[in-house]
Amino acid sequence: MDGNIKLNAKKILEKVFVPHGHGYDPDEVDAYLDEIIADYQSFERFYAESSKYIAELETSLRKNRERISELEVENAKMSKRLAGIKEGDSVSSENIEYLNRIRRLENALYAKGIDPTKI
- Report the alpha-carbon angle 79-83-85, nearest 5: 125
User: Are 12 and 37 contacting, i.e. CB atoms less than 8 angstroms apart?
Assistant: yes
Mean predicted confidence (pLDDT) in 9-28: 80
Question: Which pTM was predicted?
Answer: 0.48
Alpha-carbon distance 91 to 100, whole Å?
A: 13
Q: pLDDT per residue over 35-67, tens digit each?
A: 888 888 898 899 999 999 999 999 999 999 999
The predicted structure's pLDDT at residue 23: 79
Segment 91-100 shows an average pLDDT of 80
Q: How far is CA 106 from the centre of its chain?
A: 32
